[in-house]
Structure 1
Amino acid sequence: MEFGKLKDISTVDFKIPTDHYRNREVLSTGRNDGKGEIYFGCPSWTSKDWLGKLYPSKLKSAEFFENYTKHFSTIEFNSSHYALPSKSQVEKWVNESPTQFTFCPKVPQEISHWKRLDRVGVQLDTFMQTVAGFEKHLGCSFLQLPPDFGVESLSMLDSFLDRIPDQYPLSIEFRDPSWFEKNEAFEYITKRMEEKKLPMCLTDVAGRRDVLHMRLTSPIVAVRFVGNQLHDTDYVRMRAWAQRIAEWRAQGLEKIFFFLHQPEDRLCPETAVYFVECINDTCGVNLPIPKLYQSGIQTSLF
């Protein structure tokens, strides 16, 4: 993930910002038992660097997906951004998925980047029909706005939201700095999302701390965590996220989809191990910890 990547992170303040003032009220519309579901995963299941580490060393690529689902509960399904899978392929993945496994498909680039949400009714319907094939395995799909899609396009995004059914599991990731510089536009569009109960997608990345705006718009949220090759700050940040998630669950969080990125995919398994240990320790849950065959990196909390 190149967005927000920095060569030097020595001056970055990685502290998670305080919650938006609307968050507590938004979360109060969710669960009242403090047991919000926590899903975690990576942006891909195809890394050959995981052979002998997360996957058996001689595993065939056709078996990667099945093995991935043994360790993770969701997938940031980026491939749908470039081409939608066929109905038969979706059915195959669904049949191979454990009961609790979810897919979080990315909206096609034709909709978000090429046509920039303008006159995309046909394409949007096709996307929603395709991902509906995941049935109970559909997690939280997400719309990644282009990095130059700013407040000048507010009316286009506003009209686009009219096409999305209320409470549809489509989260939105804002990237253009103008959303955070001109607060009125951001407050307006996020209030619209809140009214429709559409989830938010937050990104925690070194070079763009503004996109970690901490505005929740429904009791469901997606977080894209971008590490720095397991630098010490990665561990600090994961502990902080575990604490924030615990607080959100106590306030009514229903579901969180937490995606673990690293500059090199080979480090995602170690990142996941530490994150799940933090979650289990802080939230008092017992999520299955990914099992590594070998790793040269210390990941344990203890």
Structure 2
Amino acid sequence: MWTHKPWQGRFLPHPLPPDERLRAYASHCNAVEGNTTFYATPARSAVASWARQTDPDFRFVVKLPKTITHERRLAGADEEVRAFLDAIEPLGPRAHALWLQLPGSFAPDDVPVLAGFLRRLPTIHRYAVEVRHRAFFEDARSATVLEDVLARAGAEWIPFDTVAFFQRPPTSDAERDAWTKKPRMPRRSRALTDRPIVRYLGRDATASTVEGWRHWVEMATGWLREGRSPTVFIHTPDNADALALARRFHDEVRAGVPDLAPLPEPVPAAPPTLF
């Protein structure tokens, strides 16, 4: 996300060499979704560059490659897993969680495969799982079985909240595109670990996005008061204002938890002028 074109020159300085772009992003937010790793395991040298550009407490939630989760469906992928874990090793403590985003066809009957996969993973990492089959949200028994498997592995269940997005028909090209691609799932709010992770999708209209995240402001505030350390990712269909929205969300949570540290002071997107 730190190379998102609409942010360049607006939120982030432009032009910037590739090995400085993440550093600029990290001056706005203290966490990032590592979504590009879904499409290919990154070069270890690239990951080392990510580590150099961020502080040790910066959070990467890094998605496992689709060859593991979607093509192999967590079976017979030991070689791919080893290659991925070796590639991300330079992140060190920045690897906040390794993220298994499972396909919508991954159903309750597949949970034993997930259980076996999680048991084989090294315990030096934390893991988080995102499921998209509706049975996990609508059938209490299926949800309980999945929660038990995740709890035994110390893994978190990542909710992807699209409730606000689907409340009214799309009004822009970006919203129409997302309308056909994003999952329609009931909202789920229960944290399984001390590191809950939330993905929230709002609308291109800021007012609708802010109204839709009220639930998560309350949840994040409560988790922090309980001693948990949540990570919340704010999305919109075009993500044009996502950086500013993420900072606004953080400010709203901080209003209820004053001890929460502020986000960094952003690097100016353009040099100061005399007039």
Are 1:140 and 2:97 matched, yes or no? yes
* Match 2:230 to one of 241, 249, 256: 256
Local SS of the residue matching 1:187: helix
Tell which deviates more after alignment, 230-239 or 79-88: 230-239
Are 1:81 and 2:38 matched, yes or no? yes
Q: What is residue 187 of structure 2 aligned with on the other side?
A: 212
**Residues 178-193 of structure 1 mapped to structure 2, 5 A cutoff:** 178-193=135-150
Are 1:279 and 2:253 matched, yes or no? yes
Task: Summarize the Cα distance change of 1:274–1:248 in structure 2 as closer, same or farther, 3 Å threshold.
Answer: same
The alignment covers a number of residue pairs equal to 250
Tell which deviates more after alignment, 143-152 or 212-221: 212-221
The answer to whether the 8 A contact 1:230-1:271 is kept is: no
Task: Summarize the Cα distance change of 1:289–1:124 in structure 2 as closer, same or farther, 3 Å threshold.
Answer: same
The answer to whether the 8 A contact 1:71-1:291 is kept is: yes
Q: What is residue 214 of structure 2 aligned with on the other side?
A: 239
- 1:123 shift after superposition: 1.6
Letter in 2 for 1:269: L
Q: What is residue 25 of structure 1 aligned with on the other side?
A: none
Letter in 2 for 1:186: A
**Residues 111-126 of structure 1 mapped to structure 2, 5 A cutoff:** 111-126=68-83
Letter in 2 for 1:96: Q
Q: What is residue 72 of structure 1 aligned with on the other side?
A: 29
Local SS of the residue matching 2:196: strand
Q: What is residue 115 of structure 2 aligned with on the other side?
A: 158
1-structure distance, mates of 2:198, 2:149 = 20
Tell which deviates more after alignment, 235-244 or 218-227: 235-244
- 1:212 shift after superposition: 2.6
Task: Summarize the Cα distance change of 1:56–1:154 in structure 2 as closer, same or farther, 3 Å threshold.
Answer: closer
1-structure distance, mates of 2:21, 2:105 = 35
Q: Where do 5+ consecutive residues of structure 2 fail to align?
A: 167-182, 270-275
Tell which deviates more after alignment, 269-278 or 139-148: 269-278
- Per-residue displacement from partner, 1:83-114 (whole Å, max 9, x unpaired)? 11112121122122123222211011001111
2-structure distance, mates of 1:138, 1:179 = 27
- 1:213 shift after superposition: 1.9
* Match 1:174 to one of 131, 135, 159: 131
- Per-residue displacement from partner, 1:62-96 (whole Å, max 9, x unpaired)? 53222111111111000111111112121122122
- 1:293 shift after superposition: 6.3
Task: Summarize the Cα distance change of 1:276–1:249 in structure 2 as closer, same or farther, 3 Å threshold.
Answer: closer
The answer to whether the 8 A contact 1:141-1:170 is kept is: yes
The answer to whether the 8 A contact 2:100-2:130 is kept is: yes
2-structure distance, mates of 1:238, 1:161 = 31
1-structure distance, mates of 2:241, 2:141 = 40
Local SS of the residue matching 1:224: strand
- 1:272 shift after superposition: 1.6
The answer to whether the 8 A contact 1:261-1:268 is kept is: yes
Letter in 1 for 2:208: T
2-structure distance, mates of 1:287, 1:209 = 33
Local SS of the residue matching 2:75: coil
Letter in 2 for 1:47: H
Task: Summarize the Cα distance change of 1:273–1:102 in structure 2 as closer, same or farther, 3 Å threshold.
Answer: closer
The answer to whether the 8 A contact 1:202-1:211 is kept is: no
- Per-residue displacement from partner, 1:114-141 (whole Å, max 9, x unpaired)? 1111222222222223222211211112
The answer to whether the 8 A contact 1:276-1:289 is kept is: no
- 1:214 shift after superposition: 2.0
- Per-residue displacement from partner, 1:19-42 (whole Å, max 9, x unpaired)? xxxxxxxxxxxxxxxxxxxxxxxx
Tell which deviates more after alignment, 157-166 or 138-147: 157-166
Letter in 2 for 1:273: R
Counting aligned pairs with the same residue, the percent is 22
2-structure distance, mates of 1:152, 1:289 = 44
Local SS of the residue matching 1:104: strand
Higher relative contact order (CA 8 A, sep 6+): 1
The TM-score with structure 2 as length reference comes to 0.82
